[in-house]
């Protein structure tokens, strides 16, 4: 009798930026290898966007989605608790529910895959004596910096951001001190020690998946395998994995509007699943878009007091009256050329529409690969997490994006700079060159995913290992 297929449990930490690639990895393991898949979803409060995403999944019988009960973290976090710490706490508080759910299963998992914030759940893998993997839902350079942080911690005196020289990580282009990931911005902050702890514990995994592909970051991937730190677990670049175009989970009107526009004439503006900008920055952006005289779709959220913040858990729940956020008369004047969408838009469907010519993005890794996979050049406008590093990869290494300068005195990108960036991407020769290069990247990505390609082979290699050890 044929032995049962491996049963892969995947655990997503809160935030759509984690859930989307975890879902895609589960679906790919099912479609390519026929494994049983259970996806556990952690959360702390209902999010409209998350419910819509989960409800929109048409999944065949061998893939089950289990939403763990929302974790009550009210006594464990303060309003100013860093987002990374909050996410780790939610995962930690969800572990008893995860354990009960696994105990109640007739066929228990044979492998556990978590994302970078789910490392506390390694204890579940150890308890059930199954191998544990981490899916780094970001780039190889992010992982390279992460595994190298304990070394840097010993080498660097003072704050990283005060360094006069770029930071050198083996296999990576030098990283500007102020482009480091958020937890490295302040070494005295609790979130730095949480990050360093994650960096160490990551190395206990049986393997690390990456949402990138060999041809995108060959030198960094080689360095990760060979010489950044000893005892790095096996590295498996298996990307780019992204949500495929489907019936839009919300916002059909955006696509109807795009149907009426010329090819490559519209700029899509979005700061990810929860990114927000300040009121002052919102005014500059609105004015810059108007000055550029280009068409745009803008996913708008209420401004925050300060930039670079993420409201991970509120996407889709805000109120929809946008008029108060914009300069006087802006909405009326731009009615013919701009579509304002409150909170959330069907991003993958928008980016794949032929009318889209550019993407002003916060450079979350999912948004980045969605842009590449649709051949859309970008304006790189990073806000938080590892996005500043992603922005420099896109502008300096890959040359598929332009990056605006922030006015040092005001801490915002000015309207003239925005106008200039939009024109660079949407008009003329430079825009065409950016578009040409991003299309080359798309071809290399597709090649890696197809049968015999590097990402396809990488996933098959692990899948074979799991099948062998199950026999």
Q: Which is nearer to ligand UDP, 273 or 458 (CB)?
A: 273
Candidate segments 260-268, 339-347, 371-379, 425-433, binder of ligand UDP by CB under 6 A: 339-347
Candidate segments 232-240, 344-352, 417-425, 457-465, binder of ligand UDP by CB under 6 A: 344-352
Specify the pairing of strand 275-276 against strand 266-270.
Answer: unpaired
∠ CA 295-241-272, rounded to 5°: 40
Site string for ligand UDP, 254-293 (x = CB under 6 A): ----------------x-xxxx------------------
d(C-alpha 171, C-alpha 224), whole Å: 8
d(C-alpha 412, C-alpha 397), whole Å: 25
- Tokens standing for residue 59: 């999944």
Residues 296-325 that bind ligand UDP (CB under 6 A): 299
Residues 388-407 that bind ligand UDP (CB under 6 A): none
Catalytic residue set: 18, 115
Q: Which is nearer to ligand UDP, 87 or 125 (CB)?
A: 87
In the complex, what is the shortest distance from the CB of residue 74 to ligand UDP, in angstroms, rounded to a whole number?
A: 24
Q: Which of 183, 240, 338, 364 binds ligand UDP (CB under 6 A)?
A: 364
Residues ≥6 apart with Cβ < 8 Å to 232: 147, 203, 208, 224, 225
Q: Which is nearer to ligand UDP, 241 or 463 (CB)?
A: 241
| Closest residue to ligand UDP using C-beta atoms | 17
d(C-alpha 172, C-alpha 167), whole Å: 10
Q: Which is nearer to ligand UDP, 8 or 363 (CB)?
A: 363
d(C-alpha 209, C-alpha 202), whole Å: 11
> Is the separation of the CB atoms in 143 and 225 below 8 Å?
no
Q: Which is nearer to ligand UDP, 47 or 110 (CB)?
A: 47
Residues 230-249 that bind ligand UDP (CB under 6 A): 243
Q: Which of 17, 26, 239, 375 binds ligand UDP (CB under 6 A)?
A: 17
Candidate segments 10-18, 109-117, 182-190, 416-424, binder of ligand UDP by CB under 6 A: 10-18
In the complex, what is the shortest distance from the CB of residue 273 to ligand UDP, in angstroms, rounded to a whole number?
A: 3
First to last CA, the chain: 12
Q: Does 377 bind ligand UDP (CB under 6 A)?
A: no
Q: Does 339 bind ligand UDP (CB under 6 A)?
A: no
> Is the separation of the CB atoms in 236 and 461 below 8 Å?
yes
Q: Does 367 bind ligand UDP (CB under 6 A)?
A: yes
Q: Which is nearer to ligand UDP, 14 or 207 (CB)?
A: 14
CB-hemisphere CA count at 13 Å for 334? 23
d(C-alpha 114, C-alpha 122), whole Å: 8
Q: Does 177 bind ligand UDP (CB under 6 A)?
A: no
Q: Does 24 bind ligand UDP (CB under 6 A)?
A: no
Q: Does 16 bind ligand UDP (CB under 6 A)?
A: yes
In the complex, what is the shortest distance from the CB of residue 424 to ligand UDP, in angstroms, rounded to a whole number?
A: 22
Q: Which is nearer to ligand UDP, 13 or 220 (CB)?
A: 13
Q: Does 365 bind ligand UDP (CB under 6 A)?
A: yes
Q: Which of 370, 373, 458, 462 binds ligand UDP (CB under 6 A)?
A: 370
For ligand UDP, the binding residues (CB under 6 A) are: 15-17, 20, 243, 270, 272-275, 299, 344-345, 347-348, 364-367, 370
């Amino acid at each position: 009798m044929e032995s049962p297929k491996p049963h892969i449990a995947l655990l997503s930490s809160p935030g759509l930026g984690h859930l989307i690639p975890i879902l895609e990895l589960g679906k790919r393991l099912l479609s390519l290898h026929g494994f049983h898949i259970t996806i556990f979803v952690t959360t702390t409060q209902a999010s409209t966007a998350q419910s819509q995403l989960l409800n929109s999944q048409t999944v065949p019988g061998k893939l089950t989605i289990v939403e763990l009960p929302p974790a009550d973290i009210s006594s464990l976090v303060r309003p100013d608790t860093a987002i990374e710490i909050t996410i780790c706490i939610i995962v930690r508080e969800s572990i008893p529910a995860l354990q009960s759910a696994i105990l109640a299963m007739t066929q228990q998992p044979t492998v556990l895959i978590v994302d970078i914030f789910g490392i506390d759940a390694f204890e579940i893998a150890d308890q059930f004596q199954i191998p544990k993997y981490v899916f780094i839902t970001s780039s190889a350079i992010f992982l390279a910096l992460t595994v190298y942080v304990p070394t840097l911690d010993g080498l660097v005196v003072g704050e990283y951001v005060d360094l006069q020289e770029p930071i050198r990580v083996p296999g990576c282009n030098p990283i500007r001190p102020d482009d480091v990931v958020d937890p490295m911005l302040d070494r005295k902050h609790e979130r730095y020690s949480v990050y360093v702890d994650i960096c160490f514990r990551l190395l206990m995994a049986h393997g690390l998946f990456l949402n990138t592909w060999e041809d995108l970051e060959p030198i960094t991937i080689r360095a990760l395998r060979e010489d950044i730190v000893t005892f790095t677990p096996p590295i498996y670049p298996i990307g780019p994995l992204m949500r495929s175009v489907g019936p839009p989970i919300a916002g059909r009107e955006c696509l109807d509007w795009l149907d009426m526009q010329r090819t490559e004439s519209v700029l899509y503006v979005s700061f990810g699943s929860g990114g927000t900008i300040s009121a002052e920055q919102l005014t500059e952006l609105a004015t810059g878009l108007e000055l550029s005289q280009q068409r745009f779709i803008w996913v708008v959220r209420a401004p925050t007091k300060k930039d670079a913040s993420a409201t991970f858990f509120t996407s889709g729940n805000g109120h929809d009256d946008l008029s108060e956020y914009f300069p006087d008369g802006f909405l009326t004047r731009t009615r013919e050329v701009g579509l304002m969408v409150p909170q959330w838009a069907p991003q993958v469907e928008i980016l794949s529409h032929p009318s889209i010519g550019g993407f002003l993005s916060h450079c979350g890794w999912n948004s980045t690969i969605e842009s590449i996979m649709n051949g859309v050049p970008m304006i790189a406008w990073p806000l938080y997490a590892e996005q500043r590093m992603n922005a420099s990869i896109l502008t300096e290494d890959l040359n598929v994006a332009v990056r605006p300068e922030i006015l040092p005195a005001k801490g915002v990108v000015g309207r003239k700079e925005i106008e200039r960036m939009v024109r660079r991407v949407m008009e003329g020769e430079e825009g065409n060159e950016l578009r040409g290069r991003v299309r080359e990247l798309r071809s290399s990505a597709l090649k890696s995913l197809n049968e015999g390609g590097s990402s396809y082979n990488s996933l098959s290699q692990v899948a074979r290992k799991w099948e062998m050890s199950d026999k």
